[in-house]
Structure 1
């Protein structure tokens, strides 16, 4: 008769590799560095322009950052899987115009927001199907859908324009209202950000995205539904791009066929600067949000100091290059650490075999 232990000892969690610990340390240091740079930049700007941190100044900063944080959160989930979505800018633009058209026709504001989210979800689902089931490279697929959506947007919108005068006053007030200096769109972005971070950290489907980005083949062999996870990531990204379109409409009240042009580059910059490795598998959405806040602050700080807006693009480019360089250095360090550990393990096994 076999006797089983009713209280088996818990299995100790396997220690993380030196490479993994190195990545964690670097990412935490990068997020801390971004926060320090952001605070110093704001302090210097406030010293040069006392109105920068006024209630309205803080509200404008958070309003602009909220839209970028929403899209960057969705983009982060996609990049974690070692993919990218370049169509988020065009999705934002067409979703904003769809919501504006509905409101201009006398529709309800809640329905307009849902319409924008559903439209974004549809485009995200299309991208996900092409990438996951069609096995087409993400860069090719989303670049194609970028032009397709932009073309549809241009044909549909034409020379028309939605302005604040065409929208209900309550919707426009929602875009600029809030609790003290914190606007409603910023609170929505914060809830979405916190919910996404919680899911990635505490749910199996979220942790599987990291495993998929780290090593797609190993994830597939481990039984992770790779195609399903990629499809879900793109669908979620499209949904947030649609929601950001509705928030853009509420924030600016002005939408035309050019809305969202080039926005995808800003989003990718925010994600990479914030510490999401472009090769997938590491980073956090909180870091991406800090990257979005940093880029938004640069766009606000330089004009406040009287610096030409041309330098905004230059600084964004420098930050992106620095982030990519850091990612490359970390990748090389991690590879070296893992190789050293592998060699050490082989040596130990060889000695044990020789002793036997």
Structure 2
């Protein structure tokens, strides 16, 4: 029986990479100044924040959870470190970084414990803590802003420190993605996150505490969000109640576009990075093209919807090929 040759579909990361390059080429063709060095550096800085928070969100999604409080965590942590710096400008950046990491970790751990110990749905827990953390920003600040004039030069300049042509912010953002890749690929805990989300029952039989893995994922997500809170505040030079409001949707979108399954157990850091870059190019290009801000949210929503449909279609086809491959080989 003659075999029919079929072209194998591109891996998701490769397809998304080509799509991102095509989008970049189209925007550059229409507006050559889009690739001006200053514009590229600004794009990378904005995208770095999105990518690092998406990496944290990915850990949670891998365990069949979702963290809606990442942006609120960043806003609360950013306000606290800004107030600390305003009160103690001579302390330097190191205490600020430690406070951001510790506070972000604490807020993430609170989410994780509620999900793990009380067996509550993560979407319900983080929807509640999103509002709690946002409210705490107002309580901590009394509704007042902390502006760049109240922040020390060291606090503001750290994220702009140039290293090999890129800012420290970009290095931290993409470095977070690199550390996330190493964690998922080479650590037992990273592999257990995949197992816990791919088949929780089998993982439990194998001795993996699925609840503990979910708690770890929330802890990691919170830690990264806390760090992003300081970086965000220092980059834009302001801390207020609505910092990063709604940004959690873009974070989840970067994960979904990057191929992370919302049903758990599937996804990779490379896809998340590409998803963040894809969204970053769109966000930067829409104002240049002249699209009204009122339509930008609709365009982003359309991109997310299409990505979800494509991901679910690819996953179904992949499962089907795995079932049919032995039969085709036998023939």
Q: Using structure 1 for the length normalisation, give the TM-score.
A: 0.84
Which of 169, 175, 185 matches 1:185? Answer: 169
| Residue of structure 2 equivalent to 1:109 | 93
**1:248 and 2:232 aligned:** yes
Q: Using structure 2 for the length normalisation, give the TM-score.
A: 0.90
Contact 2:105 2:222 in 1 (8 A): yes
**Relative to structure 2, which stretch is displaced further, 279-288 or 319-328?**
319-328
Q: How far apart are residue 119 of structure 1 and its match?
A: 1.0
Gap change, CA 1:263 and 1:79, over 3 Å in 2: same
Runs of 4+ off more than 6 Å: none
Task: For structure 1, list consecutive stretches of 5 or more residues without a partner in the other structure.
Answer: 1-24, 345-356
**Cα deviations across residues 217-250 of structure 1 (Å, max 9, x unaligned)?**
1110111122221111110000000000011012
**1:100 and 2:88 aligned:** no
Q: How far apart are residue 328 of structure 1 and its match?
A: 2.1
**1:228 and 2:247 aligned:** no
For 2:325 and 2:37, the matched residues in 1 are separated by: 53
For 2:225 and 2:42, the matched residues in 1 are separated by: 20
**Relative to structure 2, which stretch is displaced further, 130-139 or 42-51?**
42-51
SS in 2 for 1:85: coil
SS in 1 for 2:146: coil
| Residue of structure 2 equivalent to 1:275 | 259
Which of 48, 56, 59 matches 1:66? Answer: 48
For 1:201 and 1:287, the matched residues in 2 are separated by: 14
**Cα deviations across residues 189-209 of structure 1 (Å, max 9, x unaligned)?**
222211111111122221111
How many equivalent pairs are there?
Answer: 319
SS in 1 for 2:263: coil
**Cα deviations across residues 295-348 of structure 1 (Å, max 9, x unaligned)?**
111110111222222332122111211221123223433454566689x8xxxx
| Residue of structure 1 equivalent to 2:295 | 311
| Residue of structure 1 equivalent to 2:130 | 146
For 1:137 and 1:279, the matched residues in 2 are separated by: 13
Which of 127, 140, 144 matches 2:111? Answer: 127
Contact 1:56 1:181 in 2 (8 A): no
**1:36 and 2:12 aligned:** no
| Residue of structure 2 equivalent to 1:353 | none
Contact 1:270 1:291 in 2 (8 A): yes
Contact 1:158 1:257 in 2 (8 A): no
SS in 1 for 2:233: helix
Q: How far apart are residue 210 of structure 1 and its match?
A: 0.9
Gap change, CA 1:181 and 1:298, over 3 Å in 2: farther
Q: How far apart are residue 173 of structure 1 and its match?
A: 2.0
Contact 2:116 2:215 in 1 (8 A): yes
Contact 1:84 1:138 in 2 (8 A): yes
Structure showing greater radius of gyration is 1
| Residue of structure 2 equivalent to 1:288 | 272
| Aligned-pair Cα RMSD in Å | 2.0
For 1:34 and 1:338, the matched residues in 2 are separated by: 22
For 1:274 and 1:213, the matched residues in 2 are separated by: 17
**1:51 and 2:33 aligned:** yes
For 1:310 and 1:39, the matched residues in 2 are separated by: 26
| Residue of structure 2 equivalent to 1:8 | none
Q: Map of 1:194-233 to 2, 5 A cutoff?
A: 194-233=178-217
Which of 65, 72, 85 matches 2:67? Answer: 85
| Residue of structure 1 equivalent to 2:4 | none
Gap change, CA 1:341 and 1:132, over 3 Å in 2: farther
